[in-house]
Amino acid sequence: MTTDTAPKPSLWNRLAHPGQFVALTRSWLWPLTIVTAALFAVGLWFAFFNSPEDYQMGDTVRIMYIHVPTAWLSQFVYGIMAVSAIGSLVWRHPMADVSMKAAAPLGATFTALALFTGSLWGRPTWGTFWEWDGRMTSTLVLLLIYLGIVALWRAFDDQLRAARVIAVFTLVGAINIPIIKFSVDWWSTLHQPSSVFTMRGPHMPPSILTPLLVMAIAFTMLFLTLHLKAMHTEVARRRLMALQRQAAQTGASA
């Protein structure tokens, strides 16, 4: 067999190799950064200069343009981690481990921001910063799960072993995502029900829906950019740990 007829590795196999993954995706970072910055510029312009106040909530509706995207990301990032956990457990995909680890601190931050902005929106709207209702409590539980996962990653020296344990923990914790989603339907709550993705379409005028969607896409692009950069760093960190082990062995045998 000549080299010309040798089968070319599939994209899946190339992405499974950490070095090839980094080489393939390094050039994506700048375009992602530029698109993210442009989307934030447009979204913030809409949020402050080209959207009306709500007829009930007044100007506090502008908090929605950062609260809903961070709340959406708190669940989306967990979804990415759950899919990565399946990739790690079923296919032993090396980049699935890396993806899980890189996403956890980002998800924790977005969840904390969703709770923070939600409480600042709740005070003038409901008259309270916090209420132990289904939506808020289950989101707080999500934050605690994220923090537990971050702590678990730091607790293990062997990152391959850590990935197996954390993948199982992540999949068990995924039960909280539908609980967050349907909490406003299952229990009596101060939190309003879903008003964007409903069977009858969005329950808000285009003048408010447009900045919300632009900001949601901007935050999602921000996550994708930071996640990709953090994955590159995690690949570099594993290489560094291998070098440190080698340096220690060389020192011990010398």
Partner 1 sequence: MIDLGPHAVFIIAAYAGVTLAVAALIFWTLFDARRTASKTAALEARGIRRRSAGPAA
Residues that bind partner 1 in the complex, under the rule CB under 8 A: 48-49, 53, 58-60, 62-63, 66-67, 70, 106, 109, 112-113, 116-117, 120-121, 123-124, 222, 226, 229-230, 232-233, 236-237, 239-240, 242-244, 246-247, 250
Of 181 and 229, the one with the shorter C-beta distance to partner 1 is 229
C-beta of 124: minimal distance to partner 1 in Å?
A: 4
Of 85 and 113, the one with the shorter C-beta distance to partner 1 is 113
C-beta of 237: minimal distance to partner 1 in Å?
A: 5
C-beta of 3: minimal distance to partner 1 in Å?
A: 21
C-beta of 20: minimal distance to partner 1 in Å?
A: 14
How many alpha carbons lie under 13 Å from residue 122 in its C-beta half-sphere? 18
Q: Provide the 10 A C-beta neighbour count for residue 252.
A: 7
Of 164 and 237, the one with the shorter C-beta distance to partner 1 is 237
Residue among 233, 237, 235 at smallest CA distance from 225 = 233
Dist. CA 118–CA 103, nearest whole Å: 22
State the helix-helix crossing angle for 206-253 and 29-49, rounded to 10 degrees.
150
C-beta of 80: minimal distance to partner 1 in Å?
A: 16
Per the CB < 8 A criterion, the answer to whether 80 and 227 are in contact is yes
Helix (H, G, I), strand (E, B) or coil at 54: strand
| Cα dihedral 114, 116, 119, 123 sign | negative
Of 203 and 239, the one with the shorter C-beta distance to partner 1 is 239
Of 49 and 197, the one with the shorter C-beta distance to partner 1 is 49
